[in-house]
Amino acid sequence: MSALDGLIVLVVEDHDFQRHTVVRMLRSLGAREVLEARDGRHAITLMRDALPMIADVVVCDLDMPNMDGMEFIRHLAETESQASLIISSAKERALLSSVEQMANAYGVKLLGVIEKPVTRARLDGLIAKHKAPTPEALTQSQQLALIAPSFSLDDILRGLEYQFEPFFQPKVHIATGQIVGAEALARWRHPEYGIIAPYAFIAPLEHSGNINALTFAMLEKAAVACRKWRAAGLNCNVSVNLSLASLSDTTLADQISNTVKGAGLALNDMTLEVTETIAMTNVAPALENLTRLRMRGFGLSIDDYGTGFSSMQQLTRIPFTELKIDQSFVRGCATNAMLRPIVESSVEMARRLNLKSVAEGIETQDDWDALKAIGCDVAQGYLVSKPLDESAFVAFCLAHKAAAPTGAR
């Protein structure tokens, strides 16, 4: 069965012969329907007037009259279409890499780039990566539209008392396939609206000065969960995120240490994740807290590495044990000639500094294989698992352990 079976594909290409060639390939591969547009403006009109939100996959050229491919991608993002995108172009690789980054920044679901001439095998291979949208894959505004309500600070604080819990996303050692830990991610189990993700409550808590209530709830619950995993024979550590707003309080290290020890977990079984810009404000107290936490045995992870302007400076300031490569560099690193050198240099830097390297946001086997070849230590992302509640995480770990995997799954 072809990956195209049952799909509707829109081809946006101003060159008649090239457009007709791609259309024939798609039909021969089993597409349910193939639609044609001669430029971006024609495609937008077609999607708005005839086929609103109906295309599963869009194959789009870049250099077109009236509306080029970049403007079309922006409009595609603005419509919040769930169509997957394939870029087809004869432009140089550096330019194509920039367009890939632009598409990702706009939130468009990009399957990849085909350098012209388009081949049947390359087209089929990219379309095989298309997945129907799930609630987890929706944009923030789409998720908000689904859950409808906005929550007041009072709503959030009441929920925080009893309804917030950590979900755990597994972290896997790439060379062996063994689960070595998990990142704890805050979720609100709302009695009416179900599982609410952090976009609904993080900003209100930070702006009101209440973020520590969430931080310490996650620290305690994650520590209790990790203690139970280790008692059950699962050799997993747990990672918890720290907010920038918390680090100016010089008593923070003592509070964190007491919370984790009070939950019965050894301090060296927990890693605290901080973004690379976290020490840019109130540098001295942040350094005091982080150094004290490391001295007491906590692991320290520099999260979202590569997205700020002072990455290397932070590595010299703070005694990190782990370097976490941001997903914007990881996704597509197997095929993107601009991304792979960045990932390679990040992994090499981690190795030279005696830090564990962690790649987040891995979604394809190709990227997993590339990271394994590069020598990255740990993987985290939807290829392994989405974030799971505690019972589902334990079941996943036990099943994974019993299967004795050698790869991503």
What are the pLDDT tens digits along the chain (409 aa)?
A: 455 666 888 999 999 899 999 988 888 888 888 888 988 888 888 777 655 446 789 999 998 988 888 888 888 888 777 888 999 888 887 788 778 888 888 888 888 888 888 888 888 888 888 875 444 444 444 444 444 457 899 999 999 989 999 999 999 999 999 999 999 999 999 998 888 888 788 888 888 989 999 999 999 999 999 999 999 889 999 999 988 778 888 899 999 999 999 999 999 999 999 875 554 556 778 888 888 999 999 999 988 676 554 456 667 778 899 999 988 889 889 988 888 998 999 999 999 999 999 999 998 999 999 999 999 999 999 999 999 999 999 999 998 876 654 444 4
Q: Write down the pTM of the prediction.
A: 0.70
Q: Other C-beta atoms within 10 Å of 223: how many?
A: 26
Say if residues 196 and 135 touch (Cβ distance below 8 Å).
no
> Which of 140, 247, 244, 237 lies closest to 196 in space, CA to CA?
140
Tell me the longest C-alpha to C-alpha distance in the chain.
Answer: 70
Say if residues 222 and 238 touch (Cβ distance below 8 Å).
yes
Kindly list the distances between the CA atom of residue 151 and the CA atoms of 73, 144, 201, 204, 212, in Å, as whole numbers in the listed order: 32, 11, 8, 9, 19
Looking at residue 49, what DSSP letter applies? I
Which CB contacts under 8 angstroms, 24+ apart, belong to 382-387? 382/136, 383/408, 383/409, 384/169, 384/170, 384/172, 384/408, 384/409, 385/169, 385/170, 386/136, 386/169, 387/167, 387/168, 387/169, 387/183, 387/185, 387/187
